[in-house]
Amino acid sequence: KINNNISSQLIKARARTIIWDIMELKNEISYPRPVHGRIPNFRNNPNCSINLAQLEEFQQARVIEICPSLAQEHLRLFSLSEGKILLTPAPSIDNALFYKLDPKFLRVQDLSRAATKSGAAALGTIVDLTSVGKLHVDIFVVASVVVNPISGARVGKGKGYGDIEYAMMHQLGACNNKTLVVTTVHESQLLNDLPESVMTEHDLPVNVIITPQRIIYTQNKFSRPKELNWNDIDNETMLNLPVLKEFKRLHQLQQSFSKSS
């Protein structure tokens, strides 16, 4: 299993490098550049919002979680302007997973700011861990560097934050199998040859891929992470996502309560 994991990490690293190289070569990145080490902020990404709007699931959605990457900023603004409640990660807060932005309580002129990282922190309300389960996320938008348009296998930039956030939300009851997992990418980020073997049970696959040109429904071959795998979480991740410490404490409390009752 350890060898499989090392092999999977090597394939993922190689796939990322190929995509980053291609996108730089073809001048498909807006900024920041170079794109290596980042989620690609690709040109024409606002067209993804137009395609997302065609999804019946989007039209019916009430709550949407969208990753904080620059490439998805227009998507966050579009979702707010369409009246959706937006959740966006609050990585630096000790006891919270998300900022919640409800357009009902925002002025129209503040929506653009609310779609940025700093604006979400300033204008959003903090959703602490004990409140997450009261929400149901209809659509979960995760960032990708590489995605297989057939199987739905995806590779992020290597930190695993999207996988961790989804697993925590599933454990807390905010995400389930009815939650649609979507990623928005450039056509150059599609890699049919990305093997299914790169996906572990703790990696988040996608149901729908949206590019500036089209909507792709994947074959949805993989199960989603249902709970956190603490073995995968190193000290650096614990430092960068301080909410994990509180999540672990609450989880241990819950376990000891279950045993005692």
Structural domain boundaries of the chain?
Answer: 2-260
Q: Residue 234 corresponds to which amino acid?
A: D
- Residue 242, Cβ density class (10 Å: 0-12 exposed, 13-18 middle, ≥19 buried): middle
In the prediction, which pLDDT does 254 show? Answer: 76
In the prediction, which pLDDT does 197 show? Answer: 92
127: its two tokens: 């959703």
In the prediction, which pLDDT does 258 show? Answer: 66
Q: What is the pLDDT of residues 213-233, one digit of tens each?
A: 999 999 988 999 999 988 889
Query: Other C-beta atoms within 10 Å of 81: how many?
Result: 14
Q: Nearest to residue 38, comparing CAs of 143, 117, 111?
A: 143
| CATH number corresponding to 2-260 | 3.40.50.10420
197: its two tokens: 């073997």
In the prediction, which pLDDT does 220 show? Answer: 86
In the predicted model, residues of the chain with pLDDT beneath 50 are none
In the prediction, which pLDDT does 116 show? Answer: 95
In the prediction, which pLDDT does 44 show? Answer: 95
In the prediction, which pLDDT does 231 show? Answer: 84
